[in-house]
């Protein structure tokens, strides 16, 4: 596959928890990433569309539709696109036709990296029962989380008006609670156990909105994060390395400044955060 000189080429791109149809989706950052990153294969690891949010309130602006159109265009132009529905777009799990406009729909997948690592790819809601901390804590946590997302949205409107970059309040608060950390740990261990049971080298998932990339018990644990708080994705580079990337206005600006300092005449955004190190 050929790409323009202004694009970055990767072997595989993993994104999840986009939540199109929700006001909390950071769609402008995702569209920017899809424009500047060219992948041979794209995994959509669940919750591309948030049917739950749309049931509460219909919300479908043009930018959200553009994400779907962009993915379809990539699939029809030769990119292998695999869609693994999650719990918020679970209706797609019942879809009887495995291919929709060149996009393949699967419940799970096995991805083999250039280095021969075999990774289980699934959304992650399959592990909810092992993470559950009790009905009351679940209820309080759910209500608090959606309140924080609402507050996060309004705080970042003010930050943008004052010329400041995106910052996730909800992520910051979540990281302060021991119970949240316990749930994240349980989820990670459940995912690793599933990969081990299948005789695989690791797992790629989403669901909990907590980007992570580490080795656990000799296996790879990769959570590609989300596009409502962290704006992160997982990539496999052309030489088979796995990397987490963050793609917000702050990280894009850092990449542009980095290029300017190096004397580049054309300031084309690169990978946020790890831009200078990945490729």
Encode pLDDT of 190-209 as tens digits: 999 999 999 999 999 999 99
Q: What is the pLDDT of residue 149?
A: 74
* Residues belonging to the chain: 279
Q: In the beta sheet, which residues pair with residue 84?
A: none
Question: What does the DSSP 8-state code read for residue 94?
Answer: G
Q: What is the pLDDT of residue 185?
A: 92
Residue 53, phi then psi, degrees to nearest 5: -65, -40
More confident residue, 69 or 143: 69
Q: What is the pLDDT of residue 84?
A: 97
The Cα angle at residue 54 between residues 53 and 58, in degrees rounded to 5: 130
**30 and 239 in contact (C-beta within 8 Å)?**
no
Residue 139, phi then psi, degrees to nearest 5: -65, -50
Q: What is the pLDDT of residue 173?
A: 67
Choose the weakest-confidence range: 75-84, 87-96, 214-223, 269-278: 269-278
Q: pLDDT for 27-39, tens place per residue?
A: 999 999 999 999 9
Nearest-CA neighbor of 228 among 38, 41, 13, 50?
Answer: 50
Q: What is the pLDDT of residue 275?
A: 34
Q: What is the pLDDT of residue 145?
A: 66
Residue keyed to tokens 């054309």: 266
Query: DSSP for 164-233?
Result: PPP--HHHHHHTT-HHHHHHHHHHHHHHHHHHHHTT-SEEEE-SSS--EEEEETTEEEEE---TTTT-EE
Q: Quickly state the pLDDT bin for 7 (edges 50, 70, 90).
A: low
80: pLDDT strictly greater than 60? yes
Which domains does the chain show, CATH number per domain?
8-278 (3.60.21.10)
Query: For the CA atoms of the chain, what is the radius of gyration?
Result: 18
Instruction: Quote the CA–CA distance of 77 and 212 in Å, as a whole number.
Output: 31
138: pLDDT strictly greater than 80? no
Q: Quickly state the pLDDT bin for 5 (edges 50, 70, 90).
A: very low
Helix H, strand E, coil C: the string for 9-46 is EEEEEEECCCCECCCCCCHHHHHHHHHHEEEEEEEECC
Q: What is the pLDDT of residue 248?
A: 87
More confident residue, 16 or 248: 16
Q: What is the pLDDT of residue 231?
A: 95
Choose the weakest-confidence range: 100-109, 112-121, 144-153, 179-188: 144-153
The helix (H) or strand (E) run that includes residue 157 is helix 135-161
137: pLDDT strictly greater than 60? no
Instruction: Quote the CA–CA distance of 279 and 228 in Å, as a whole number.
Output: 26
Instruction: Please give the structure tokens belonging to residue 54.
Output: 């749309």
Q: How many CB atoms lie within 10 A of CB 70?
A: 14
Instruction: Quote the CA–CA distance of 90 and 113 in Å, as a whole number.
Output: 27
In this prediction the pTM is 0.78
Q: Quickly state the pLDDT bin for 142 (edges 50, 70, 90).
A: low
**Region 153-180: what's the mean pLDDT?**
72
């Amino acid at each position: 596959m050929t790409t323009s000189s202004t694009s970055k080429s990767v072997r595989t791109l993993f994104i999840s928890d986009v939540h199109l149809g929700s006001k909390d989706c950071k769609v402008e950052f995702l569209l920017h990433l899809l424009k500047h990153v060219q992948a041979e294969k794209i995994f959509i690891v669940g919750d591309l569309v948030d049917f739950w949010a749309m049931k509460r309130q219909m919300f479908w602006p043009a930018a959200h539709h553009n994400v779907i159109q962009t993915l379809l265009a990539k699939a029809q132009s030769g990119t292998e696109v695999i869609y693994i529905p999650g719990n918020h777009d679970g209706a797609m799990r019942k879809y009887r036709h495995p291919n929709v406009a060149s996009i393949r729909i699967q419940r799970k997948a096995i991805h083999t990296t250039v280095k021969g690592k075999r990774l289980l790819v699934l959304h992650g809601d399959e592990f909810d029962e092992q993470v559950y901390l009790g009905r009351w804590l679940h209820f309080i946590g759910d209500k608090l989380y959606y309140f924080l997302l609402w507050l996060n949205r309004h705080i970042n409107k003010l930050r943008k008006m004052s010329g400041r970059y995106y910052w996730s309040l909800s992520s910051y608060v979540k990281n302060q609670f021991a119970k949240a950390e316990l749930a994240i740990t349980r989820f990670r261990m459940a995912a690793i156990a599933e990969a081990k049971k299948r005789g695989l080298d690791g797992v790629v998932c989403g669901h909990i909105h907590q980007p992570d990339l580490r080795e656990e018990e000799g296996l790879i644990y990769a959570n590609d994060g989300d596009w409502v708080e962290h704006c992160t994705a997982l990539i496999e580079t052309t030489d088979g390395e796995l990397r987490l990337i963050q793609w917000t206005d702050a990280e894009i600006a850092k990449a542009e400044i980095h290029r300017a300092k190096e004397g580049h005449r054309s300031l084309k955004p690169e990978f946020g955060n790890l831009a200078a190190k990945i490729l």
